[in-house]
Amino acid sequence: MRLLLLNMTKTQITTEIQKLLDVVPESILQNILDFLKELQDHPEDKVKLANHLRQVLTEDKDLLERLAK
């Protein structure tokens, strides 16, 4: 899905986000809002770096758990 988003227009991405927001539990909407506000306060390069780190941690979760043992 991530690759698909790279080829989408801003309007398409906004529409997809809205669809997800419509079905996400209300209890986490505030977390999403806080996260988006936090992104506004950071330069784009730092946001990209954080996203890359998150991706590495997610993809290599099993490896990192084994290394921690």
Give residue-wise pLDDT tens across range 39-55. Answer: 788 888 887 887 887 78
Q: Nearest-5° angle of CA 6, CA 12, CA 13?
A: 55
Q: What share of the chain is helix, strand, coil (3-state, %, to 5)?
A: 85, 0, 15
pTM of the model: 0.52
The predicted structure's pLDDT at residue 3: 45
Spatial CB neighbours of 16, under 8 Å, sequence gap ≥ 6: 5, 8
Q: Where along the chain do its domains lie?
A: 2-68
The predicted structure's pLDDT at residue 6: 62
Q: Which of 53, 20, 47, 26 is CA-nearest to residue 35?
A: 47
| Mean pLDDT (whole number) for 15-28 | 90
| Single-letter amino acid code for the residue at 3 | L
pLDDT at residue 1 is higher than 60: no
- Select the more confidently predicted residue: 51 or 30: 30
The predicted structure's pLDDT at residue 18: 92
